[in-house]
Amino acid sequence: MSLDYNSLLLAVGFSAACLSLTLFGIWLTARSEKFLLTWAVSVLLVVADIFAYKAYIDTPGRLLGIATFALLLLGFSTMLGAAHQFTTGRSPLPRIVVGSSISLAVALPPMALGYDGLGFMLENSFAALLLFATALEYWKGRKEFPAPIIGIAALYSITAISFVLCALVLALDGKLVLGHAPSNWAEDLSLVVVIACMTGIGALSLALNQGRLAQHHRRDALTDPLTGLLNRRALFDLHGGTPINAFTAVVVFDLDGFKAINDEFGHATGDEVLKLFAKDLTDNIRPADNAARIGGEEFALVLQRTLPEKVEFTAERIRAALAARRIETETRPLSCTVSAGYAFGSQEGLSFDKVLSAADKALYAAKRGGRNRVFASTFRRTG
């Protein structure tokens, strides 16, 4: 091995170490992004592999060779797990276990038996497969932030291709026993590619994390923390600037006697009632509709492309679901009811404020009418 190759190898090691520290630092600022920690660990394993491989170059040996194979393939399997965790939010362990188990079971025996040439072919092949699988995982999640995610997937794919070339050159050479680390143009090229791609992945990961943080902050600002529904601000952001047409309805709900529930059973029970009612709302609307908590115990639905009978049916079903519910408490079972009012827009289009106000008036008419009922606004659509 030449001095230039050794220098490149060390450069890869230090670049990977910097990427690992960067990812770990990002994770410290955004603990909810657990994939960043998994990713940082995977890169740290690759760093350990690089320095173990440097030792193998200087002093070839089976045990050291096995260690380099194990560290690289476990590192790339963990990288695959991190990518899966990013796209799905699920545990990375299944991908890590399957990827490392299969690759190590195939690549380690030849090295252990002295067929290091064959072992390096298999190691490079499995490394490429794991990197392609990692690129595919990111590709699946490209809709969230297309530019940085597609860039990361492309860089992983390019890195995988460099490992494919290493495996092909060894296969064409046909030597099952080398007695030393591989030394050819593909190995040199692979190191250059890894340095460039690792730098790019690190930069794109920063952009990706900043985008996710901004998205999370916006989501937090527009979401009711207790129920997970939209809040009043989000509802007005969505509909406040758009005229409400004759086929769009606004339904306002208000839990009956909610203050008495808080006074008798405590705020924890009151919060549970609010969360259960929020679930009743989301269970009874379509993806195009919106549900929001607009006050303490006041909620609203915006139902798109609908008719009066459908709105009446939906509101009644929600009302009946809550009325039939029995909530166990420390003292006695609790039952709760809700009143609702709804209103439509018009053919000419009405402001959201005006339709919401009309629905609110219908709600208070339901309250005066005895509660636990649904009233339609007298201000009805004209077509």
Question: Do 209 and 81 share a structural domain?
Answer: yes
Identity at 185, one-letter amino acid code? W
Q: Which of 378, 375, 383 lies closest to 248, judged by CA?
A: 383
Residues 278, 229 contacting (CB under 8 angstroms): yes
DSSP state at residue 296: S
Q: Domain boundary residue among 163, 192, 222? A: 222
Q: Considering its fold, how many domains does the chain have in total?
A: 2
- Do both 301 and 345 map to the same domain? yes
Residue 97 within a domain: yes
Q: Is there a single domain that holds both residue 276 and residue 131?
A: no
Among 166, 200, 222, residue at a domain's last position? 222
Alpha-helical regions (H) of the chain: 3-29, 34-58, 62-88, 93-112, 116-140, 146-173, 185-222, 232-239, 258-265, 267-283, 308-324, 352-368
pTM exceeds cut of 0.75: no
- State how far the Cα of 55 lies from the Cα of 67, in Å rounded to an integer: 11
Return the structure tokens found at 289: 């509709």
Mark the ranges of the chain whose per-residue pLDDT is less than 70.
Answer: 1-3, 220, 379-383
According to the model, what pLDDT value does residue 381 have? 45
CA dist list (Å): 84 to 34, 96, 247: 11, 10, 42
* Pair 216, 236 in one domain: no
Question: Which of 222, 255, 279 is the endpoint of a domain?
Answer: 222
The verdict on 112 and 200 lying in the same domain is yes
- Considering the domain architecture, whether residues 183 and 289 belong to the same structural domain is answered as no
- Residues 331 and 304 both lie in one domain: yes
State whether 361 and 258 are in the same domain: yes
Specify if 148 maps to a domain. Answer: yes
* Claim to verify: residue 254 and residue 341 sit in the same structural domain: yes
Considering the domain boundaries, does residue 383 fall inside one? no
Q: What is the CATH number of the domain that holds 119?
A: 1.20.1070
Q: Find the CATH number of the domain harbouring 342.
A: 3.30.70.270
CB proximity list for 268: less than 8 A, separation 6 or greater = none
Within-domain flag for 213 = yes
Q: Beta strands 338-344 and 298-303: pairing type? A: unpaired
Range of the domain at 309: 230-376
* 185 plus 290 within the same structural domain: no
**Kind of pairing between the strands at 298-303 and 290-293:** antiparallel
Residues 6 or more apart whose Cβ sits within 8 Å of residue 353: 240
Q: How far is the C-alpha of 350 from the C-alpha of 302, rounded, in Å?
A: 14
C-alpha gyration radius of the chain: 30
Sign of CA dihedral 91, 203, 213, 41: positive
Token output for 208: 């990706």
In a domain, 382, yes or no: no
Predicted pLDDT at 66: 95
Residue 278, CA distances (Å) to 128, 303, 305 in order: 47, 16, 22
Does 288 map to a domain? yes
Q: Any idea which residue has 């995977």 for tokens?
A: 42
Instruction: Give per-residue burial for 267-297: e unless 16+ CB within 10 Å, then b.
Output: eebbebbbeebbebbeebbeeebbbbbbeeb
The one-letter code for the residue type at 256 is D
pLDDT 10s digits, 308-362: 999 999 999 999 999 998 888 888 888 899 999 999 999 888 899 999 999 999 9
Instruction: Give the pLDDT score at 349.
Output: 85
381 lies in a domain?
A: no
Same domain, 242 and 193: no
Residue 383: the pLDDT is 42
The pLDDT of residue 379 is 62
The pLDDT value recorded for residue 35 is: 84
* Residue type at 9 in one-letter notation: L
The answer to whether 375 and 369 have CB atoms below 8 angstroms apart is yes
Residues 294 and 346 in one domain: yes
